[in-house]
């Protein structure tokens, strides 16, 4: 006999949360991204920031973390290599695979972008106090960790990385 668990959050709240998170992502990108940040496309900047935070890794590991396909990421990494922001070298453990890492020039660019974005966000948070910001941070982290937790992922045939599409 199986025990059916009752959802702890209502369907209406779940739907509203999905809508708000989706719109939040768009608003955040528009608020923090600026053409003044640099000369590379926004998508490449995003990949570079994630790689800098993650550290050296295989391309397939980064693709999984970014929830993008291998071919798409490969094109983006090629662009970052051409800009001199990423180095790519064969994986000593598997000569067919590549390891990637952010170069010194790339780290300087990451620092520039992160500093500018933090300054913009700090201005946008005028009127918030430290407790409100910390509470928001805790909630966002908790949601992210819940969504990343493999125990909560739903595998579908159209989504091979194992996350449910929104």
Lowest mean pLDDT among 27-31, 80-84, 142-146, 147-151: 147-151
Beta-ladder partners of 94: 91
CA dihedral 13, 5, 140, 102 (to 10 degrees): -130
Residue 5: pLDDT band (50, 70, 90) is confident
- What does pTM read for this prediction? 0.74
DSSP H helical ranges for 35-152: 42-54, 59-66, 70-83, 104-124, 130-148
Q: Label residue 78 by pLDDT band (50, 70, 90).
A: very high
Q: Which tokens hold the place of 20?
A: 């708000």
Q: Is 81 exposed, middle or buried, given 0-12, 13-18 or 19+ CB atoms closer than 10 A?
A: middle
Q: What is the mean pLDDT of the chain?
A: 86
Mean pLDDT lowest for which of 3-12, 17-26, 28-37, 153-162? 153-162
pLDDT of 87 above 70:
yes
Nearest CA to 90 out of 99, 82, 103 is that of 99
pLDDT at 110: 95
pLDDT of 162: 42
């Amino acid at each position: 006999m199986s025990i059916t668990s009752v959802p702890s959050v209502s369907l209406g709240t779940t739907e509203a949360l999905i809508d708000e998170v989706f719109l939040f992502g768009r608003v955040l990108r528009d608020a923090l991204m600026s053409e003044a940040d640099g000369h590379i496309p926004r998508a490449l900047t995003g990949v570079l920031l994630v790689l800098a935070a993650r550290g050296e890794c295989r391309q397939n590991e980064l693709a999984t973390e970014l929830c993008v396909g291998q071919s798409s990421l490969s094109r983006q990494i090629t662009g970052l290599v051409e800009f001199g922001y990423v180095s790519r070298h064969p994986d000593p453990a598997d000569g067919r695979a590549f390891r990637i890492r952010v170069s010194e020039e790339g780290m300087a660019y990451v620092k520039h972008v992160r500093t500018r974005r933090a300054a913009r966000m700090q201005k946008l948070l005028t009127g918030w106090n430290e407790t409100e910001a910390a509470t928001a941070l805790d909630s966002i982290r908790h949601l992210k960790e819940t969504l990343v937790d493999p125990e909560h992922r739903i595998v579908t045939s159209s989504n091979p990385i194992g996350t449910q599409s929104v």
